[in-house]
C-alpha cells in the first residue's frame, strides 16, 4: 500500500453522518480515493462494461481492472440444505454506468424443484479506509493514521437497489444463496443479470448449485459456542437515540437478529460503569445502577439490565449472559452516593477488604434477582485477560456468596483455573491437556479460543485476507474447541462506514458489521467457517472422522505466514463436500 499523507492534506475525511431509525437503509458517500486512476491500467481492457464471476477470497481494487486469472464466466457451488453459500461477481467498466441494478432468478433442477429467488441476495461491496499491521507484525498499540499505510478496501456489503459506477472502475457484488431446508437434493441452475439505469441487460451470468442430501440445523441449534461482544451504546450514539428507549431497541433489532442468525450464544452485559477503561469509542455504561444509601446500605436498579437481556432473548440469543466485570482494567468501581448526591468511585484490588465489602452485597442481591428472573443458571460473572491471582480472589468471593454462580474468562491458560471456570476461552496457540478437555467436555462446559489484536494472522481486520475469517471455524474443528470469541461485533469507530481505523489497534478490530444493517465480507466468511464446523460435527457422528482428520490437522495458526488461508479452507471444504 502507498502511504497516505494526512498531514499534507492529500486526504481529508468527511464528517460522520448520523442515521436515525427512519434512515437505517440510507445511502452514503464513500471517502474519496486519494489515488488517481491510471489510464494505463485500463488500456488493455476492451471498451465497455464487463461482468464476470470473481472470488470470495479477494478484495477487488476499485481503481484497477481485476486480474483475468481471478475471473470466470460461470460458477459452480456445493451446499447442504439450510446452508448459506456465497461468492462475488465483478462489474468493471471503461465507461460510466449510473444506476446499475442486479436482478436474480429462481434456481431450478429441471425436474420441477426450485430454490426461490427470495433465497438469493445480492449486495454491492462498499469501500472503507483501512491501514496495516504494526512494525512487529501485529495489530496492537496506539497508532496515528499518518504513520501507517492506508488505502480503501472493499468490505461492507450494502443491499441497496442500485449503484453508480464511474468510468475506469471496478464494482464487486456479493452473491449469497440460502438453500431452504426443504429443498430436494440435486443440481440447481440460476442466473443473475446486471442492468443499466434504463433496465437494459448488460450481462447475465449463469451458475449452478449442487444441493447435498444432508441438512444443517437451524442456527439456534448449532453447537458452535459463538461469543461476539455487542455494544448497545455504539448503536445509541450512531442512531442518535436515547439508550434503552423504544427507538434504541428498534434501531438495534436488525443488528442483533443478524447476529443470532449465525448462531450467537452469549449476551454481553456491563454490570459496572466502564469495565474496559474507556478503550472503545463509546464507553460501556452501567446496566445495573449502584446506589449507596445514607445509612451505608446498597440498592441496585436492574431495569436496563433486564430490558437488554429480554430484548436479546427476543432476538434469538438465549444460551448465556456474560456480566462484565468484577475485575475492570482500571479497578475503578463507580456508584451513586446519596449522602453527596453525586457519582463517585472507589479503587479496590481483588482480595482486599474494600473489594469484598463492595461486591459481597451486590453479588447476593444479584443472585436473588437472577433467580427471580429465571436467568441464574445461564449467567456468568465474566472477566477478560485478568491475572490468575486476581481471578482466584474474585472466584473465592463469588463462591462464598453463592457456590453455584458460574464464572467465565477470556484470557491465558492457567491449569489452576481449569476446574473453576465454567466458560473458559483461551488465546489462540494455547491449549488444554487431553485430560482437562475430557473433564470439561464431560460437564458440557464451554471450552473455546479467541483472537485479538495480537495476532497478525489469522484475523478479521478490514485488510485481513477474507478467508482468514472462515479459517477460524475450521481451526476450532481441527483443534476440538467448542467455539470462538472475538471482541467486538459492533464497537464502531467515529465514522465506521467510511473509515475503519482507530486510535488503538489495526483497522476493523473493533467491529464486524456496519451501520444500517450492512454485513461485511468478514462477517459472511466467519459464518461460512461456523457452518463448516457444524458440518464436521455431523460427519463425525456418521463415522467420517478419519477422512476429515488429515485435512483438519493442517489448521495450525502459526503456519499462516507460510500458507494461504484460502488454500487451506478450499482444501478442507472440498473434503467435507465430497463425503
pLDDT at 52 over 80: yes
In whole angstroms, what separates CA 288 from the centre of its chain? 26
In the prediction, which pLDDT does 354 show?
Answer: 98
Q: Residues 117-143: pLDDT tens digits?
A: 999 999 999 999 999 999 999 999 999
Domain finish residue from 166, 187, 215: 215
In the prediction, which pLDDT does 238 show?
Answer: 97
pLDDT at 5 over 50: no
Q: Residues 375-432: pLDDT tens digits?
A: 999 999 999 999 999 999 999 999 999 999 999 999 999 999 999 999 999 999 999 9
Residues 246 and 192 in one domain: no
Q: What is the 3-state secondary structure (H, E, C) of 223-283?
A: CCEEEECCCHHHHHHHHCCCCCCHHHHHHHHHHHHHHHCCCECEEEEECCCCCCCCCCCCC
- The mean pLDDT value for 39-61 works out to 96
CB distance 204 to 75 below 8 Å: no
Residues 233 and 194 in one domain: no
Average pLDDT, the chain: 94
pLDDT at 505 over 90: yes
pLDDT at 25 over 80: no
**Whose CA is closest to 417, among 444, 445, 442?**
445
Whole-number Cα distances in Å, 410 to 332, 391, 404, 427, 487: 20, 11, 20, 8, 10
CB distance 493 to 131 below 8 Å: no
The pLDDT confidence band at residue 38, using thresholds 50, 70 and 90, is confident
Residues 265 and 129 in one domain: no
Query: Alpha helix (H) ranges present in 402-449?
Result: 434-442
| SS3 at position 433 | coil
Q: How far apart, in whole angstroms, are the C-alpha atoms of residue 565 and residue 470?
A: 8
In the prediction, which pLDDT does 289 show?
Answer: 98
- CATH number assigned to the domain comprising residue 37: 2.60.40.10
**Whose CA is closest to 1, among 61, 58, 69?**
61
Residues 22 and 77 in one domain: yes
pLDDT at 561 over 90: no
Residues 194 and 260 in one domain: no
Residues 388 and 435 in one domain: yes
Q: Work out the angle at residue 368's Cα, subtended by the Cα atoms of residues 362 and 370, and round it to the nearest 5 degrees.
A: 95
Domain finish residue from 157, 188, 215: 215
Is 542 inside any structural domain?
A: yes
What's the domain count of the chain?
2
Q: Residues 286-295: pLDDT tens digits?
A: 999 999 999 9
Is 124 inside any structural domain?
A: yes
Q: How far apart, in whole angstroms, are the C-alpha atoms of residue 251 and residue 236?
A: 8
Residues 113 and 190 in one domain: yes
Q: Residues 313-324: pLDDT tens digits?
A: 999 999 999 999
CB distance 204 to 102 below 8 Å: no
Residues 253 and 194 in one domain: no
Is 342 inside any structural domain?
A: yes
Residues 159 and 252 in one domain: no
Residues 392 and 519 in one domain: yes
Range of the domain at 64: 6-215
- The mean pLDDT value for 469-482 works out to 98
65 CB neighbour count, 10 Å cutoff: 21
Share of the chain above pLDDT 90, in %: 92
- CATH number assigned to the domain comprising residue 305: 3.20.20
R_g of the chain computed on alpha carbons: 25
The bridge status of strand 266-270 relative to strand 151-158 is: unpaired
Prediction pTM value: 0.95
Torsion angle defined by CA atoms of residues 344, 350, 356 and 358, in that order, rounded to the nearest 10 degrees: 20
**Whose CA is closest to 272, among 263, 254, 255, 285?**
285
Is 471 inside any structural domain?
A: yes
What is the spatial order of strands in the sheet that 169-178 belongs to? 49-53, 84-93, 169-178, 120-130, 151-158, 519-520
Residues 162 and 251 in one domain: no
- The mean pLDDT value for 553-560 works out to 92
Domain finish residue from 158, 183, 215: 215
**Whose CA is closest to 79, among 276, 217, 214, 265?**
214
Q: Residues 191-237: pLDDT tens digits?
A: 999 999 999 999 999 999 999 999 999 999 999 999 999 999 999 99
Is 540 inside any structural domain?
A: yes
CB distance 529 to 474 below 8 Å: yes
Residues 231 and 206 in one domain: no
Is 1 inside any structural domain?
A: no
In the prediction, which pLDDT does 146 show?
Answer: 84
Cell 467510511, located at residue? 498
Burial class (CB in 10 A: 0-12, 13-18, 19+), 111: exposed
Amino acid at each position: 500500500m502507498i502511504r497516505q499523507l494526512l498531514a499534507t492534506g492529500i486526504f481529508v475525511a468527511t464528517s460522520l453522518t448520523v442515521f436515525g431509525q427512519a434512515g437505517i437503509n440510507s445511502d452514503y458517500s464513500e471517502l474519496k480515493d486519494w489515488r488517481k486512476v491510471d489510464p494505463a491500467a485500463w488500456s488493455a481492457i476492451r471498451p465497455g462494461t464487463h461482468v464476470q464471476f470473481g472470488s470470495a477470497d479477494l478484495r477487488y481494487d476499485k481503481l484497477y481492472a481485476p486480474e483475468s486469472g481471478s475471473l470466470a464466466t460461470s460458477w459452480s457451488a456445493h451446499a447442504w440444505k439450510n446452508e448459506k453459500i456465497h461468492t462475488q461477481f465483478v462489474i468493471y467498466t471503461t465507461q460510466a454506468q449510473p444506476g446499475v441494478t442486479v436482478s436474480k432468478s429462481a434456481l431450478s433442477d429441471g425436474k420441477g424443484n426450485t430454490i426461490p429467488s427470495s433465497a438469493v441476495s445480492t449486495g454491492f461491496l462498499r469501500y472503507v479506509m483501512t491501514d496495516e499491521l504494526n512494525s512487529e507484525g501485529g495489530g496492537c498499540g496506539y497508532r496515528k493514521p499518518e504513520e501507517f499505510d492506508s488505502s480503501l478496501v472493499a468490505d461492507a456489503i450494502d443491499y441497496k437497489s442500485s449503484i453508480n459506477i464511474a468510468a475506469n472502475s471496478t464494482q464487486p457484488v456479493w452473491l449469497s444463496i440460502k438453500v431452504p431446508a426443504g429443498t430436494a437434493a440435486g443440481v440447481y441452475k440460476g442466473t443473475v443479470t446486471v442492468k443499466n439505469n434504463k433496465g437494459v441487460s448488460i450481462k447475465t451470468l449463469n451458475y449452478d448449485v449442487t444441493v447435498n442430501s444432508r441438512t444443517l440445523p437451524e442456527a439456534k441449534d448449532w453447537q458452535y459456542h459463538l461469543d461476539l461482544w455487542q455494544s448497545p451504546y455504539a448503536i445509541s450514539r450512531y442512531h442518535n437515540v436515547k439508550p434503552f428507549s423504544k427507538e434504541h431497541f428498534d434501531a438495534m433489532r436488525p443488528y442483533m437478529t443478524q447476529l443470532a442468525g449465525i448462531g450467537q450464544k452469549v449476551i454481553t452485559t456491563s454490570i459496572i460503569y466502564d469495565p474496559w477503561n474507556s478503550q472503545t469509542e463509546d464507553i460501556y455504561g452501567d446496566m445495573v445502577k449502584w446506589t449507596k444509601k445514607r445509612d451505608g446500605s446498597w440498592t441496585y436498579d436492574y431495569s436496563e439490565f433486564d430490558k437488554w437481556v429480554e430484548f436479546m432473548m427476543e432476538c434469538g440469543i438465549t444460551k448465556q449472559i456474560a456480566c462484565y466485570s468484577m475485575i475492570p482494567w482500571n479497578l475503578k468501581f463507580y456508584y451513586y452516593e446519596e449522602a453527596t448526591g453525586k457519582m463517585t468511585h472507589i479503587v479496590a484490588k481483588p482480595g482486599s477488604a474494600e473489594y469484598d465489602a463492595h461486591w459481597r452485597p451486590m453479588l447476593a442481591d444479584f443472585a436473588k434477582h437472577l433467580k427471580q428472573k429465571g436467568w441464574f443458571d445461564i449467567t456468568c460473572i465474566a472477566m477478560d485477560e485478568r491475572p490468575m491471582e486476581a481471578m482466584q480472589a474474585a472466584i473465592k468471593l463469588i463462591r462464598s456468596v453463592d457456590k453455584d454462580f458460574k464464572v467465565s474468562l477470556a484470557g491465558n491458560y492457567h491449569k489452576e483455573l481449569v476446574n473453576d471456570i465454567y466458560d473458559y476461552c483461551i488465546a489462540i496457540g494455547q491449549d488444554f491437556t487431553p485430560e482437562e478437555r475430557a473433564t470439561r467436555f464431560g460437564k458440557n462446559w464451554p471450552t473455546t479460543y479467541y483472537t485479538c489484536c495480537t495476532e497478525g494472522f489469522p484475523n478479521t481486520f478490514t485488510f485481513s485476507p477474507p478467508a482468514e475469517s472462515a479459517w477460524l471455524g475450521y481451526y476450532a474443528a481441527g483443534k476440538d474447541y467448542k467455539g470462538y470469541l472475538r471482541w467486538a461485533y459492533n464497537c464502531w469507530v467515529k465514522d465506521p462506514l467510511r473509515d475503519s481505523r482507530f486510535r488503538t489497534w489495526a483497522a476493523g478490530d473493533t467491529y464486524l458489521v456496519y451501520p444500517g444493517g450492512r454485513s461485511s465480507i468478514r462477517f459472511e466468511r466467519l459464518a461460512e467457517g461456523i457452518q463448516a464446523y457444524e458440518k464436521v460435527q455431523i460427519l463425525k457422528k456418521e463415522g467420517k472422522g478419519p477422512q476429515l482428520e488429515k485435512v483438519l490437522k493442517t489448521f495450525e495458526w502459526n503456519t499462516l505466514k507460510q500458507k494461504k488461508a484460502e488454500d487451506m479452507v478450499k482444501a478442507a471444504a472440498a473434503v467435507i463436500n465430497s463425503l
